[in-house]
Chains A and B, each alone.
Chain A
Amino acid sequence: MDMHLSSNNGSAVKSDAIKSDAAGSGAVEVNEAALPNGGPVKERLVVVGNGMAGMKAVEELLAKAPGRFDITVFGAEPHPNYNRIMLSPVLAGEKTFDQIVLNSREWYDANGITLLTGEAVEGIDRAAKTVVSQSGRVVPYDRLLIATGSMPFIIPVPGSTLPGVIGFRDLADVEAMLAAAAKGGRAVVIGGGLLGLEAANGLRVKGMEVTVVHLMPTLMERQLDPSAGMLLQRELERRGIEVLTGADTAEIVGNNEGDVRVGAVRLKDGRELPADIVVMAVGIRPNMALGKAAGLDCGRGIRVDDQMRTSDPSIYAVGECVEHRGVTWGLVAPLFEMAKVLADRLAGGEGSTYTGSVTSTKLKVTGVDVFSAGDFSGGAGTEDIVFRDAARGVYKRLVLKDGKLLGAVLYGDTRDGAWYFSLLKDGADVSAERDTMIFGPYFSNGGFGGDAGNPDAAIAALPDSAEICGCNGVCKGAIVMAITGKGLTSLDEVKAHTKASASCGGCAGTVERLLAATLGDGFTAAPKVKPMCKCTRHTHDEVRAAIVGRGLKTMADVLQAMEWTTPDGCASCRPALNYYLLCAWPGEYRDDYQSRYINERAHANIQKDGTYSVVPRMWGGLTNAAELRAIADVVDKFAIPTVKVTGGQRIDLFGVKKEDLPAVWADLNAAGMVSGHAYAKGLRTVKTCVGSEWCRFGTQDSTGLGVKLERMTWGSWTPHKVKLAVSGCPRNCAEATIKDLGVVCIDSGYELHVGGNGGLHVRACDLLVRVATEEEVLEYTGAFMQLYREEARYLERTAPWVERVGLDHVKAALVEDPGRRRALNARFLFSQTFSQDDPWAERAAKGVDRHEFNLLAEVG
């Protein structure tokens, strides 16, 4: 770190006095003379460190025991004491340095404090009870306070010492950044924590192209849960800051020009990011060198007890340089608490102790409101209350345990942060407020009506201008006027007349309460529709409508926009959402691997003993000697214990070890076979009979048509498994009338049957239509598949779907509206252009998802 030896505005008299003291004559008298109430010989307190912790201790001490000590303060920086946490606004140009100075030099003078700036202390002589500074000045003490703070941690990668690599710790760092920003160019900020993001924002505001490189998967992972981290990332990206998460820095590369300085940052994955400056903001390290050299007990910092004493009873330490009960601190609140305890101690008090802190943090990026406090990692015995209001960009999460608030994360609306923090610090019992506390103190303690914990009263007390529906901008007054003026009595009527809750439906509950409050007994709530799962109050249909209607294109978008109450969903909703997104945005949506059941991740069926079964596709039920030989060889080679013909005319190989799957697929692929998707919520088989080619009764080429249907539909993802069949005549040998879609060939053409099921609840198909040509069969099939894909709920097979929506609904879409039928078919064929890749080939030959099939390690 640069040491600033510059002009010292402090009194020359005092400096000389201290120098003379160093020579042994004693500075005490001089300082006493400088004090208005000079009395008996005072204890000498030397403070090493002119930062926030040290000076807070001095301020507190002056308040508690004015004039008790003769105080000398050393500061390594050339400035008076300033508010370090406001450096970010200085970088962003929102504040000047003068505005963040805490205590001017006049203040030091007025309080009789000798301030020595630009002068680092280099040693402590504990036996002689003196400190010696960089310039050779020796100052004696009776009590010594070490408050040397911390240093930015510089990752020791190659190139980390190149000029242009800057920490973010003091005003000199800010000045270096401002000087670089004045030339424009590109900055890479390593570290996506509080400081890194504040630096990135400041540099961006100053006109640099900025990339944040963060090792962890989401930003500020120590303060924010992944959901809030994602929102923050999106906001920063919207401001033009590039964010790379999961990015590990390998090296800082020099430029190739004459003056060697940074030129780029190289990541471990090989990416190289050009950089004119690199800001390293990955963390801080307690600056304990002075204490360690003096032989004080040190761990991660200088060790102190609950009264801030080091292992030497004359020496105290506070702030970021200390380790207290095994913990080091990097936030301002704990430092202040330590300073108070120390001041009590120095003022003669015995009672107060420091036992650790509960902390909260805020990001100082203008327009981005982020607050977090306490422990929000969740875990056994805790419960989450999550609130999302996508339209306002608000996310709140409270973590409760045993009726107490354990942690809070607020994004977008941090007004209630202080209230949550006080509840958290006090360890207050919040059981009574549990149901309403997420809405803040006004709703919770009756701020609107004095009726604590009663959301109806809170609604009634809302002003007419309060916005109820964020999507459509409908306020309370408009809704109440519609209810009373038009005689509305139901949520649907309010939706129809005012558009409130007609989009995402997030405010439906509020609107119902408003109905109840306005109508009194005249209101009966709408029957409850079952939500998708415990993570949401929305139904499958509402979520699907929102995905399409509001253009939600990622899992995170849906969770946020639909106000999910869990951070990352559950095993029930995630596969459904993944499917809905895949169906809505073919070719655009990136499949979420970890939201698929294991069968679809491993492309084989998991069996009761953890082995898998493999079914190669046999188009329309056809096979040949080469395929059968390949299957037989695979069975021998991998000692596959069971080979079985399925009900869908295919061969199932049971008992394959997971790690053998890619090799099994490779051999089957080599014989021209591809995955049968027997594991998929997708098209499985097309069962056929032999039809007119061999059968005495066959009216059409049912096998050939089956092959065509399977070629068209294979690889498609659907809400549940789908099976087709083609029978060559009404004798129906392929059992086509209990399939999701069955074709029965007749003399004049083809009968299409839909919605059958041979499973748990046997259901015979409904006849949809008769058509004359194979082309029509294919078009109807594509259209039917797509209607099912777009309308059915996840894990709803065609039989319950057809029963739910009614055959007339299906007929109206497919038979009575040829334009819609063609459009549905076109959408189906479009989505198929992205999904007809053999997943086996990708994994067997190209090594896709190799981690799925390999052990992490074998030990012991």
Chain B
Amino acid sequence: MDSIIMENAASETVWTHVGTIDDIPLLGSRVVRTPDGDIALFRTAADEVFALEDACPHKRGPLSQGIVHGRRVTCPLHGWVIELATGEAVAPDEGRAGHVPVRVEGRSVAIALGGVKLSRGGCRKACGHV
């Protein structure tokens, strides 16, 4: 079958199989637990899969629990919007959630571990709870 490579990784990258696309709900997310922290895997309406560190750059909210729309997720704590493909917060907010390379082959999903870099951004707007 054709393989969709969402992220070209260096040849030494170790890919860890974590499940299949079908395990992740459409427009939803599932969590993979690792020694370095939780990783959230997202599936868009177009069946793309993305992985981010499961922590919003704002106040570490679990992005896996947010609402997925387009190629973005809205953090459940204070409504920051994060780009799934890059982990970048959508302006005017600034910050970036750690981004994890994903490889989808057929229905199987693998992630590249070890490359997650944590980062923190500042709160630039008044927080209104959902």
Contact = CB atoms under 8 A, between A and B. Distances in A.
Interface of A: 216-218, 221, 225-226, 246, 248, 283, 377-380, 566-571, 574-575, 593-599, 601-602, 606, 608, 610, 851, 855-860
B45 to A, nearest CB: 4
Nearest to B61: A610
A248 B45 CA distance: 18
Q: What are the 5 closest A-B residue pairs judged by CB atoms, nearest first?
A: A571-B74, A856-B30, A571-B67, A598-B65, A594-B27
A655 B76 CA distance: 17
Given A380-B85, A571-B79, A857-B19, 9 more contacts: A225-B46, A226-B46, A378-B71, A570-B69, A593-B28, A598-B67, A606-B65, A858-B33, A859-B32
A856 B47 contact: no
B27 A568 contact: yes
Which residue among B62, B67, B74 has the maximum number of chain A CB atoms within 10 Å of its CB?
B67
A499 B128 CA distance: 41
B70 A566 contact: yes
Q: By DSSP majority rule, is chain A's interface helix, strand, loop, or mixed?
A: loop
B92 to A, nearest CB: 14
B76 A606 contact: yes
B130 interface: yes
Contacts of A567: 45, 70
A856 B2 CA distance: 24
Contacts of B36: 860
A379 B7 CA distance: 14
Nearest to A377: B46
Given A610-B61, A857-B18, A380 B83 contact: yes
A133 to B, nearest CB: 32
A859 B33 contact: yes
A410 B114 CA distance: 42
A606 B24 CA distance: 21
Contacts of B67: 570-571, 574-575, 594-598
A860 B30 CA distance: 17
Contacts of B2: 283
Interface in B32-88: 32-36, 41, 45-48, 59-62, 65-72, 74, 76-77, 79, 81, 83, 85-86, 88
Given A574-B69, A851-B30, A859-B34, A593 B25 contact: yes
A380 B34 contact: no
Contacts of B30: 851, 855-856
13 contacts: A378-B71, A379-B85, A566-B69, A570-B69, A570-B74, A571-B74, A575-B67, A593-B25, A598-B76, A608-B77, A610-B60, A610-B62, A859-B16
A851 B23 contact: yes
B76 A597 contact: yes
A568 B34 contact: no
Contact of B77 (A602, A606, A859): A606
Contacts of B16: 859-860
Contacts of B77: 606, 608
A695 to B, nearest CB: 36
A282 to B, nearest CB: 9
Contacts of A221: 46-47
Contact of A571 (B33, B61, B66): B66
A246 B67 CA distance: 21
A608 B62 CA distance: 9
A830 to B, nearest CB: 29
B34 to A, nearest CB: 4
Contacts of B45: 217-218, 226, 567-568
A194 B70 CA distance: 24
A677 to B, nearest CB: 16
A856 B47 CA distance: 17
B74 A594 contact: no
Contact of A856 (B31, B60, B62, B66): B31
Contact of B35 (A246, A575, A596, A860): A860
A601 B65 CA distance: 9
Interface string B79-111: 101010110100000000000000000010000
Contacts of A851: 23, 25, 30
Contacts of A283: 2
Contacts of A594: 25-28, 67-68
B28 A857 contact: no
Q: Which residue, of A246, A248, A859, has the highest number of chain B Cβ atoms within 10 A?
A: A859
A759 to B, nearest CB: 12
B110 to A, nearest CB: 10
Contacts of B83: 380
Contacts of A595: 67
Contacts of A575: 67
A250 B33 CA distance: 31
Most buried by A among B45, B79, B85: B45
A738 B35 CA distance: 49
B26 A217 contact: yes
A338 B76 CA distance: 51
Contacts of B33: 855, 857-859
A254 B130 CA distance: 55
B15 to A, nearest CB: 11
A858 B74 CA distance: 24
Contacts of B25: 593-594, 851
Contact of B86 (A380, A566, A593, A857): A380
A434 to B, nearest CB: 19
A595 B71 CA distance: 15
B66 A598 contact: yes
Contacts of B74: 570-571
Contacts of B61: 610
